[in-house]
Amino acid sequence: MSFKLTPATRRRLEKAARAATKACYAPYSKFRVGAAVLAGSGKIYAGCNVENASYGLCNCAERTAIFTAIAAGEHKLKAVVVYTPTPVPTMPCGACRQVINEFGPHAVVASVCNSAKRIDTTLPALLGEAFGPKNLR
């Protein structure tokens, strides 16, 4: 069973993801992404995409937010919300899905954008039969 978000928490996450795009460093793709995660403690952590002249080193907004949460001492993720200033929502890439799985195998995942279109789903729906910590125990 995946975690259930209250409407108020969902709104706070969306607001934090939207605000995070102010710090985006995306001079190469010009594709701005903000993300916010709800961690086990109930705190929200945000992140933006951070690109690099060596393109392969670009870091997605989702992973920036997740790593910020983990660096603050969190161990679990309950929800991940992505925001892009686009007409359609953007979903986490495969690498980010795998990183979400590490800390939030049952996480709620939502994506919002600049239109009324949105996607509300869960990590198990996005990454079926995932490889994860359980395989190494």
Tell whether residue 49 is a contact of ligand THU (CB under 6 A).
yes
Q: Is 10 helix (H, G, I), strand (E, B) or coil?
A: helix
Q: How far is the CB of 38 from ligand THU (least distance, A)?
A: 17
Active site residue 62: yes
60 lines the binding site for ligand THU (CB under 6 A): yes
**Rounded Cα gap, residues 46 and 65, in angstroms:** 5
Neighbours of 52 (CB within 10 A): 12
- The interface with ligand THU within residues 90-129 (CB under 6 A) comprises 90, 92-93, 96
Contacts (CB under 6 A) with ligand THU, residues 65-84: 82
**Binding of residue 89 to ligand THU (CB under 6 A):** no
Q: How open is the CA angle 7-12-52, to the nearest 5 degrees?
A: 130
119 by DSSP, 3-state: which? strand
Q: Which of 10, 12, 19, 31 binds ligand THU (CB under 6 A)?
A: 31
Give the Cα separation of 50 and 108 in Å (integer).
Answer: 24
Q: If binding means CB under 6 A, how many residues of this protein chain bind ligand THU?
A: 15
For position 88 contacting ligand THU by CB under 6 A, the verdict is no
Task: Give the residue numbers annotated as catalytic, written as ranges.
Answer: 62
